[in-house]
Each structure stands twice: as structure tokens, then as C-alpha cells.
């Protein structure tokens, strides 16, 4: 078995997991405006509140991945 194939078999599941987790994260970021309209249907876009939600999400994922 070549060295390149051995590395791919070792780290392949990690790459797949990292890819899927990044897609989930960026799907939330891309859908901020629709999420804002779902939470506050009759009001304009709430950038500050969505920023607080995003900061809380990043902080929680930061701490959960370092345990």
C-alpha cells in the first residue's frame, strides 16, 4: 500500500466529518435573513441579535471541541 493511500485511509473519516460540520455551519450563516424573518416575522432584519446568536454558537462550539 502506498503512503498516500495509507494517509487517506487514516484521515479520511476526519475529512468527511470536518466537511459535513462546515456545511452545517455555513448553511446557518447563509440563511441568517430567513431565520431572522422566522423569529421576528413582522419586523426588519435584526443584525445585532443574530450576531449575538452567532457569537454564542461559536463560543459553545469552541468550548465543546476543546474538552
Give 11-54 pLDDT, tens digit per residue.
778 877 777 877 877 787 788 788 788 888 888 877 888 888 88
Domain residues for the domain of 47 are 31-67
pTM of the model: 0.50
- Asked whether residue 46 falls in the same domain as residue 61, the answer is yes
- Asked whether residue 38 falls in the same domain as residue 24, the answer is no
Count: domains in the chain? 2
Q: Which three cell numbers stand for residue 32?
A: 441568517
Measured CA to CA in angstroms, residue 43 lies from 12, 46, 56 at distances of 45, 8, 22
- Asked whether residue 25 falls in the same domain as residue 35, the answer is no
Amino acid at each position: 500500500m502506498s503512503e498516500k493511500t495509507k494517509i487517506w485511509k487514516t484521515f479520511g473519516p476526519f475529512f468527511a466529518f470536518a466537511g459535513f460540520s462546515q456545511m452545517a455551519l455555513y448553511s446557518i450563516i447563509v440563511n441568517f435573513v430567513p431565520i431572522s424573518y422566522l423569529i421576528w416575522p413582522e419586523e426588519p432584519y435584526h443584525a445585532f441579535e443574530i450576531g449575538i446568536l452567532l457569537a454564542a454558537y461559536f463560543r459553545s462550539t469552541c468550548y465543546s471541541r476543546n474538552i
